[in-house]
Amino acid sequence: MHDFFVYAVVMMAVAYLVRAVPFTLFRRKVKNRFVRSFLYYIPYAVLTAMTVPAAWYATSSLAVSTCGLGVAAILAYRGRGLVTVSLAACAGAFVMMLLLRLAG
């Protein structure tokens, strides 16, 4: 384990450079189709890999997580916005938690 500030500076430097350098230097489109496709798919691959399966273990119970994520998935699939889907994930999980407590 290193000093917190070493970690913090590394995170900041990467987060900044990865955005600012291409944005500052590029004034034309990437021509290479393979590179473009790879870059295009990266966000979806990253976000999915971070969610599956980790999100199921984010709460204290699989049933609670599943309910929240299910509600979020349905709303997201119907094209609802960021805030709505996030709140719905929490609300869905909360309802399941209450149900489990009532049942148990």
Smallest gap, in angstroms, from Cβ of residue 70 to another protein?
10
Q: Verify binding: residue 33, another protein, rule CB under 8 A.
A: yes
Report in angstroms how near the CB of residue 51 gets to another protein at its nearest.
5
Rounded Cα gap, residues 35 and 52, in angstroms: 25
Task: Return d(Cα 54, Cα 40) in angstroms, integer.
Answer: 23
**Angle between helix 62-77 and 82-103 (nearest 10):** 150
Q: Is residue 30 at the binding interface for another protein, with CB under 8 A as the rule?
A: yes
- Strand, helix or coil at 26? coil
Contact call for residue 82 and another protein (CB under 8 A) = yes
List the x/- string, 38-77, binding to another protein by CB under 8 A.
xxxxxxxxxxxxxxxxxx--xxx---xx--xx--xx-xxx
- Give me the phi and psi of 27, to 5 degrees please: -125, 0
Closest listed residue to residue 96, CA positions, set 58, 57, 69: 69
Among 27, 102, 103, 104, binds another protein (CB under 8 A): 27
8 contacts another protein (rule: CB under 8 A): yes
Among 16, 62, 102, 104, binds another protein (CB under 8 A): 16
